[in-house]
Amino acid sequence: MKNKWMSMNKKEKLRWGRNVVQLLFFVLFPALSERTVKWLQKLKYLILVFVLLLCYMGQGEQVGKNSPWTFFSMITAGRFPMLSYAVSAVLLIVILIGMAVHERFFCQFLCPMGAVFSLLPELPLFAMKRKAQNCISNCQLCKKRCPVSVKIGEEPYRRGECIRCGKCMASCPRKNIMIH
Ligand code: SF4
Ligand code: SF4
C-alpha cells in the first residue's frame, strides 16, 4: 500500500483523497428519505420569514453578520474573522457538508431567495405537463432524475420546488414532458 501511494502522482493522490472523503460522507450521512426531504424543503420558508422579520425590526445588519456567505467572503479575502462570526462559520460548515451529501442542499433547504423563487413556478405560466397515458409502465425515470424531488405525477404539474432544470424532459425516452 505504501509503495503504491508513493508511486502515485499528485493528481492521483488528490483523486484518491476525494474518493475517500466521499465514501466517508455517504457512510456517515445516508441518503435522505423522501419524507425528510419534503420536511427540509419547508425550512427555507421559515428562514425567509425570519429574515424579513429581522429586517422589519431594524435588525438587518444581523442578517448580514450571521450569513454564511459573509464568513466565506472574509476567508476568500484572506481575513480570518473572530468568534463574533461563529454563527456564520457554523452555518457555512453545515452547508458545505450538506452540499457534499445532497444535491442542491442549500438552494433546496436553506436559501431564502430559493423560497422566493419557488413561488414563481406556482403561476400557471410555468406549468409543465406529462402525458401519463404515453408513459412506459413503471418507468419513473423523470422522477428519479429530478434533483429536487418534485412529484411528477399530475398533469399539468407546477411545483414551487421545480428549478426548471429540464432534466425530467431530457431524460424521458418518449419526450413525454413539455411546457404546458
Ligand atoms: S424541470 Fe427539473 S426540477 Fe423541475 S420537475 Fe423537471 S427535473 Fe424536476
Ligand atoms: S420518463 Fe417519460 S415515460 Fe418515463 S415516467 Fe417520466 S414521462 Fe413517463
> Which atom of ligand 1 sits closest to the CA of residue 164?
1
Q: Which numbered ligand comes closest to the C-alpha of 165?
A: 1
120-179 CATH, one of 3.30.1280.10, 3.30.365.10, 3.10.180.10, 3.30.70.20: 3.30.70.20
Contact between 51 and 112 (Cβ < 8 Å): yes
Query: What's the confidence (pLDDT) of residue 180?
Result: 66
Q: What are the cell numbers at 175?
A: 419526450
Angle at 115 between CA 160 and CA 88, to 5 degrees: 150
Q: Where residue 82 falls among pLDDT bands split at 50, 70, 90?
A: low
Give residue limits of the domains in the chain. Answer: 31-117, 120-179
Q: What is the pTM of this model?
A: 0.61
Q: Which residue, judged by its Cα, is nearest atom 7 of ligand 2?
A: 176
pLDDT for 125 beyond 70:
no
Q: Which numbered ligand comes closest to the C-alpha of 164?
A: 1
Query: What's the confidence (pLDDT) of residue 53?
Result: 93
Contact between 177 and 128 (Cβ < 8 Å): yes
* Kind plus residue range of the DSSP H or E element containing 125: none
> Which atom of ligand 1 sits closest to the CA of residue 171?
7
